[in-house]
Copies of this chain bind each other. A is one copy, B any other.
Amino acid sequence: MKKIIVDMMGGDNAPEETIRGVLLAKEELSAELLLVGNREVLTAKAAELGVSLDGFEIVHTEVEITMEDDPIVAVRTKSDSSMSVGLKLLAEDKGDAFVSAGNTGALFTGANLLVRKLRGVRRPAIAAVLPMTPPVLLLDSGANLSVTPEYLEQFAVMGSAYMKKMMGLEAPRVGLLNNGTEDHKGTELQIETYQLLSKNPKINFVGNIEGNAVMFGACDVLVCDGFSGNILLKTMEGMGKLMLKTMRELFTASAATKAGYLLVRSHLGEVKKSFDASEHGGAPILGIAKPVIKAHGSSKAKAFKNAIRQALVAAENDLTEELTEELAILSERKKAEKAAAKETNEE
- On A, residues with C-beta under 8 Å from B are 142, 145-146, 177, 179, 186-187, 210-216, 226-228, 230-243, 246-247, 250-251, 253-254, 256-257, 259-264, 266-268, 271, 274
Contacts and interface: CB of A to CB of B under 8 A. Distances in A.
Contacts of A259: 260, 263
A242 to B, nearest CB: 5
B214 A238 contact: yes
A234 B211 contact: yes
A145 B262 CA distance: 48
Contact of A235 (B146, B211, B274): B211
Contacts of A250: 264, 267-268, 271
Main DSSP-derived SS at the A contact region:
helix
Given A145-B186, A212-B237, 9 more contacts: A179-B227, A211-B233, A212-B234, A212-B238, A215-B239, A216-B241, A228-B231, A253-B267, A260-B264
Q: Name the 9 nearest CB pairs between A and B, nearest first.
A: A211-B234, A260-B263, A212-B238, A239-B239, A211-B235, A179-B230, A260-B260, A260-B264, A212-B234
Given A187-B145, A250-B271, A260-B264, A179 B235 contact: no
A129 B215 CA distance: 22
A187 B227 contact: yes
30 contacts: A177-B231, A179-B226, A179-B230, A179-B231, A186-B227, A210-B230, A211-B233, A211-B237, A212-B235, A212-B237, A212-B241, A214-B235, A215-B238, A215-B242, A228-B228, A232-B235, A235-B235, A235-B236, A243-B246, A246-B274, A250-B264, A250-B271, A253-B264, A253-B267, A257-B264, A257-B267, A259-B260, A260-B260, A260-B262, A261-B264
Copies of this chain assembled into the complex: 2
A248 B224 CA distance: 32
Contact of A264 (B211, B216, B256): B256
B187 A210 contact: no
Contact of A234 (B146, B210, B256, B274): B210
A235 B231 CA distance: 9
